[in-house]
Amino acid sequence: MTPAIELAGIDKSFGAVHANRSVDLAVMPGSIHGIVGENGAGKSTLMSILYGFYEADAGEIRIGGKPVSIRSPADAIGHGIGMVHQHFMLVEPLTVLENVMLGAEGGALLKGGAGKARAELTRLSEAYGLAIDPDAVVGDLSVGLQQRVEILKALYRGAEILILDEPTAVLTPPEADALFALLAQLKAQGRTVIFITHKLREIMAITDRVSVMRRGEMVATLPTADTSPPALAELMVGRRVLLRVEKAPRAPGPPVLEAVGLDVVDAHGVKRLSDVSLTVHAGEIVGIAGVAGNGQSELLEVLAGLVQPSRGAIKVGGDLLPPHRRHPARLRELGLLHVPEDRLRMGLVPSFPAFESAALGFTGDPAFARKAPLGALFDRDAMVGHARALMDGFDVRPPDPWLRSSKFSGGNQQKLVLAREIERRPKVLLVGQPTRGVDIGAIEFIHRRLIALRDAGVGILLVSVELDEIMGLSDRILAMCGGRITGERRADATDAQDLGLLMGGVSEAA
Amino acid sequence: MSAPIELPRWADLALVPAISVAAAFVVAGLVVIGIGENPLTVTRILVTGSLGSADAIGFTLYYATNFIFTGLAVAVAFHAGLFNIGGEGQATLAGVGVSLACLNLPFLPAPLLIPAGILAGAAFGAVWAMIPGWLQATRGSHVVITTIMFNFIAATLIVYLLVNVIGRPGSMSPETSEFPVNAHIPTIRAVLGAFGIDQPSTPLNLSLLLALAAAFGVWLLIYRSRLGYAIRTVGAAPGAALYAGISPGRIVVVAMTISGALAGGLAVNELMGAQHRMVLGFTAGYGFVGIAVALMGRSHPAGIVLAALLFGALYQGGAELAFETPTITRDMVVVIGGVLILFAGALEGLFRRFVARSLAFAGRRVKEA
């Protein structure tokens, strides 16, 4: 059978970075083909070349056996390739119909085109069972429905080959299941799907064949049925990795962080948290499960003193905090430390050398100051030495305290932030998205560290959109939806389905 | 989808600015050809006029002193993410502070009166910059807008003050009485003369050393102190500042205050060092050129000192040029300065890409060979 798409010897460099090294890939028509690899393995570059964002330095693209030249997304669309980006390319104030037509209006006047588009949209919706109102405003739709609009957009333009880039990152488990059902239907109709992800569970669930990339090279292409998650992980990283870190049961100690009835209202007057109460005990990991944007970020911020609650009380180590002590610097003194969700915006200063980022939040440490009359000045040797020690302890690479923070990979930036907070011996640690954008190898390391910290008696509040991570690390799990806590489970007495319902807002009372 | 262009440090600090300056002179040369003059002759006059004699060097350094102060003022605010356009107004108010101190404390000996004048100038400039900083921090009023408005307020306020309040009684021109002799900052000529070294008479005075000390102080502050760390964090990553427990509002006010105090140095050099009285319009645009100096010096004190020397030379050489070649007026010199600002500031990205490509190409050639 002729492959639907064939990439032969694709090579691409950005300056000194060799992003794709002579990559070959053949995708069979009517199949779902998964592409996995760590961050920076070259998946996105390869797909960008296929979709015409970049031009390859060398190599050939063949569609249906014929060599083609794809120099722009318009060329790609012309060859029947559609792409659904991780971050949607939708105009929120416009309707579904208007979004689908955008760029394919069919004339200067909208009227004629709109009629045809409406008919075609209805036909597509019916063919695939996509219940979508063409006149709904896209901004009002849920994330899962917005993704359907993206897929409709591609189908409307006649896409025979659909590329999905990390499509499940923003979905609840039930929404992801709905997506998989849709992809299966597209496949049944003879369309070809390329599915990029780093979640091995999804690869196993829906793909027919899977290709693994590592450091710009295509290291393997296998029938999915012949492989397993551990085998894929090993191919991705190049060594054996533990996907789930073992942890021993441990009896939790006294409460170290308590929140009672927290409400948070944002600058626009919108209520982001309502009536959130939780307790974290010493030696316990409490996971917050939820789809991104359901109040987890606000919860971390209010507990870290970055925003003030409009109602409610917070206790740290058993002491009730008056408002003036709910300040990041005061909370640090109490042993409440915070690994923020967004390391580039908050966790470090991208333009600073690593040793300065390694002091963020702790510049008042007397160890960093010069002797008495020059106390306002830094002792740079001490700062650099401190950073070097952190880097050694957490295997940050390259171990160069002078390197600019932005030049480290995501995983190494995260290790630096974690090292900074963990080495300060917290009593309570708030952790947001500890492994977002982090390679599998580094994930294992970070998980081990968090569990070691728990075993040492630290109370950890873990917020993550990765359900596997929440279930793997936590002792107790709280699910959030719409700014409320919708349920609590012991980690050993729940599963993804159960949590998915809670995350979707089906609360226990209902 | 363009990533920021990364260059080796030496290229960032030396090569790119050098190419920018060279390109600016090429374009300025074309303008000179356009009005029918020989650019080589013009360049010769510019160079000898600014650096060709002890006299010329004195004037160049005197102008450079002004630019160091105003450039540092812009840079400190810039590190906090603020664009302080108000150097003119802050220096004008600093002139009021200098004048009040020098005219009201004539009984003090020079070693006390001169520091008093400097401190009064710094304090007045600081307050004039602090107000926009405070408005930005508490009300969100953009500092670019408010500092420009404060320039206008300062310009009219000073006319009122010089005509009605602190002006020399009986004078037809808006100026104060002459400062007492013990408020005059000694000239370099006087200081060197004491060691038997003869120098021509120029307005160059010990304020130059104050400016260099200020540059060193700003370097210590920004790159070596806790306060400077906080200032840079607020400027580079406001979210990280909040996370670290740094109050951005407080840092905005503090950075603007320091910035205004530095702009006050312009009044010290001009009034206490050279003119010995306060006159209308003594700031003469140095405050605005400070923006270009800071841009060109990449907000680093060492770069600012070098950029200030360049602009000082351009000012002094330009004055000579206007004198020697009648077709080239002082306005023409302003054009050259403008082209320089354009290339060093706004168009700097143009050459970064070119330099990055050339270096990559050279690197490949070396590897292949």
β-pairing, A336-339 vs A428-432, is parallel
Residue A224 has pLDDT above 50, yes or no: yes
Distant-in-sequence, close-in-space partners of B235: CB < 8 Å, separation ≥ 6: B78, B79, B80, B81, B82
CB contact under 8 A, B225 and A376: yes
pLDDT average, residue stretch B180-193 = 93
CB contact under 8 A, A346 and B237: yes
Per-residue burial over B246-268, b = 16 or more CB atoms within 10 Å of its CB, e = otherwise: bbbeebbbbbbbbbbbbbbbbbb
Contact between B228 and B219 under an 8 Å Cβ cutoff? The reply is no
Report the DSSP beta bridge partners of residue A487: A479
pLDDT score of A280: 97
pLDDT tens-digit map of A422-473: 999 999 999 999 988 777 778 889 999 999 999 999 999 999 988 889 999 9
Residue B120 falls within a domain, yes or no?
yes
Nearest chain A Cα distance for residue B13, angstroms: 16
Rounded to whole angstroms, how far apart are CA atoms A350 and B134?
A: 27
Nearest chain A Cα distance for residue B16, angstroms: 19
pLDDT tens-digit map of A100-133: 888 777 666 676 778 888 888 888 888 877 778 8
Residue A225's SS3 state is helix
Chain A positions touching B242 (Cβ under 8 A) are 306, 328, 346
CB contact under 8 A, A350 and B245: no
pLDDT score of A54: 86
| Among B225, B232, B233, beta carbon nearest to A378 | B225
Chain B positions touching A346 (Cβ under 8 A) are 237, 239-240, 242-243
Residue B204 has pLDDT above 90, yes or no: yes
- Residue among B80, B233, B251 at smallest CA distance from A349: B233
Mean pLDDT of chain B: 90
DSSP A433: S
Helix axes B226-236, B54-79, angle to 10 degrees: 70
Residue A294's SS3 state is coil
Q: Could you tell me if B140 lies within 8 Å of chain A, comparing CB atoms?
A: no
Report the DSSP beta bridge partners of residue A260: A313
Nearest chain B Cα distance for residue A110, angstroms: 31
Residue A166 has pLDDT above 60, yes or no: yes
Residue A509 has pLDDT above 60, yes or no: no
| Among B230, B232, B237, beta carbon nearest to A345 | B237
- Identify from A360, A370, A403, A431 which residue to disrupt to test chain B contact, counting B C-beta atoms within 10 A and taking the largest count: A360
Residue B69 falls within a domain, yes or no?
yes
**Domain ranges within chain A, ordered by starting residue:** 5-237, 248-335+426-510, 344-425
Contact between B266 and B64 under an 8 Å Cβ cutoff? The reply is no
- Residue among A329, A158, A207 at smallest CA distance from B247: A329
The domain at A248-335+426-510 falls in which architecture? 3-Layer(aba) Sandwich (3.40)
Chain B positions touching A267 (Cβ under 8 A) are none
pLDDT score of B6: 65
Give the angle A418-A422-A423 at the CA atoms, nearest 5°: 115
Task: Give the chain A residue whose CA is nearest to the CA of B234.
Answer: A349
Residue B206 falls within a domain, yes or no?
yes
Residue B321 has pLDDT above 80, yes or no: yes
Contact between B192 and B54 under an 8 Å Cβ cutoff? The reply is no
Distant-in-sequence, close-in-space partners of A245: CB < 8 Å, separation ≥ 6: A444, A447, A448, A451, A472, A473
Residue B70 falls within a domain, yes or no?
yes
| Among A305, A350, A380, beta carbon nearest to B237 | A350
Rounded to whole angstroms, how far apart are CA atoms A494 and A390?
A: 37
Q: Which residues of A touch B (CB under 8 A)?
A: 14-16, 53, 304-306, 327-330, 332, 338, 340, 342, 345-352, 356, 359-361, 363-364, 369, 376-378, 380
Residue B49 falls within a domain, yes or no?
no
pLDDT score of A348: 94
Task: Give the chain B residue whose CA is nearest to the CA of A359.
Answer: B244
pLDDT score of B48: 93
Q: Could you tell me if B360 lies within 8 Å of chain A, comparing CB atoms?
A: yes
- Identify from B1, B5, B216, B226 which residue to disrupt to test chain A contact, counting A C-beta atoms within 10 A and taking the largest count: B226
Rounded to whole angstroms, how far apart are CA atoms B91 and B266?
A: 6
- Residue among A130, A178, A181 at smallest CA distance from A154: A130
Nearest chain A Cα distance for residue B220, angstroms: 8
Residue A397 has pLDDT above 60, yes or no: yes
Residue B24 has pLDDT above 80, yes or no: yes
pLDDT score of B3: 43
| Among B224, B239, B243, beta carbon nearest to A378 | B224
pLDDT average, residue stretch A331-355 = 94
- Residue among A461, A192, A470, A178 at smallest CA distance from A301: A461
pLDDT score of B187: 94
Rounded to whole angstroms, how far apart are CA atoms A8 and A61?
A: 6
pLDDT average, residue stretch B149-172 = 92
Classify residue B290 by burial, with Cβ atoms within 10 Å: 0-12, 13-18, 19+.
Answer: buried
Residue B1 has pLDDT above 50, yes or no: no
Q: In what order do the strands lie in the sheet with A81-84?
A: A81-84, A161-165, A192-196, A32-37, A209-214, A217-223
Can you give the C-alpha Rg of chain A in angstroms? 25
Q: Could you tell me if B54 lies within 8 Å of chain A, comparing CB atoms?
A: no
pLDDT tens-digit map of B117-156: 999 999 999 999 999 999 999 999 999 999 999 999 999 9
Rounded to whole angstroms, how far apart are CA atoms A388 and A399?
A: 7
| Among B233, B242, B360, beta carbon nearest to A15 | B360
Residue B41 falls within a domain, yes or no?
no
Residue A507 has pLDDT above 70, yes or no: no
CB contact under 8 A, A346 and B230: no
CB contact under 8 A, A345 and B240: yes
| Among B225, B239, B240, beta carbon nearest to A377 | B225
pLDDT tens-digit map of A19-72: 899 999 999 999 999 998 877 788 888 998 999 888 888 899 999 889 999 988
Give the angle B116-B62-B147 at the CA atoms, nearest 5°: 65
pLDDT average, residue stretch A397-417 = 89
Distant-in-sequence, close-in-space partners of A269: CB < 8 Å, separation ≥ 6: none
Q: Residue B110's domain spans which residues?
A: 64-297
**Which single residue is written with the structure tokens 């002759």?**
B41
- Split into its structural domains, chain B has a count of 1
pLDDT average, residue stretch A379-405 = 94
Chain A positions touching B2 (Cβ under 8 A) are none
Query: Could you give the C-alpha distances from A373 to A369, A376, A377, A384, in angstroms and in order?
Result: 10, 8, 9, 22
Contact between A335 and A317 under an 8 Å Cβ cutoff? The reply is yes
What is the complex's ipTM, to 2 decimals?
0.86
Rounded to whole angstroms, how far apart are CA atoms A286 and A486?
A: 15
Other CB atoms within a 10 A radius of the CB of residue A281 amount to 19
| Among A53, A305, A348, beta carbon nearest to B1 | A53
Please report the residues numbered 227 through 266 in chain B whose beta carbons come closer than 8 angstroms to any beta carbon of chain A. 227, 229-230, 232-233, 236-237, 239-240, 242-245
- Residue among B302, B289, B331, B367 at smallest CA distance from B9: B302
Nearest chain A Cα distance for residue B133, angstroms: 22
pLDDT tens-digit map of B265-293: 999 999 999 999 999 999 989 999 999 89
Mean pLDDT of chain A: 89
Classify residue A319 by burial, with Cβ atoms within 10 Å: 0-12, 13-18, 19+.
Answer: exposed
Q: Could you tell me if B362 lies within 8 Å of chain A, comparing CB atoms?
A: no
Rounded to whole angstroms, how far apart are CA atoms A9 and B287?
A: 58
Rounded to whole angstroms, how far apart are CA atoms A458 and A277?
A: 20
CB contact under 8 A, B240 and A347: yes
Query: Could you give the C-alpha distances from A37 to A88, A161, A213, A437, B343, in angstroms and in order?
Result: 22, 21, 5, 12, 44
pLDDT score of B5: 61
Contact between A401 and A355 under an 8 Å Cβ cutoff? The reply is yes
In which band, very low, low, confident or very high, does the pLDDT at A508 lie, cut at 50, 70 and 90? low
Dihedral angle sign, alpha carbons of residues B272, B273, B279, B284? negative
| Among A16, A348, A369, beta carbon nearest to B240 | A348
- Residue among A13, A14, A24, A21 at smallest CA distance from A61: A24
- Identity at B273, one-letter amino acid code: G
pLDDT average, residue stretch A209-215 = 91
Give the alpha-carbon dihedral of A116, A118, A124, A130, to 10 degrees.
170
β-pairing, A459-464 vs A284-289, is parallel
- Residue among A155, A189, A183 at smallest CA distance from A197: A183
Chain A positions touching B239 (Cβ under 8 A) are 342, 345-346
Domain A5-237: which CATH class? alpha beta
pLDDT average, residue stretch A289-309 = 91
- Residue among A432, A453, A422, A421 at smallest CA distance from A302: A432
Report the Cα B339 to chain-centroid distance in Å: 17
Task: Give the chain B residue whose CA is nearest to the CA of A407.
Answer: B6
CB contact under 8 A, B226 and A356: no
Rounded to whole angstroms, how far apart are CA atoms A81 and A90?
A: 18
Report the DSSP beta bridge partners of residue A480: A485
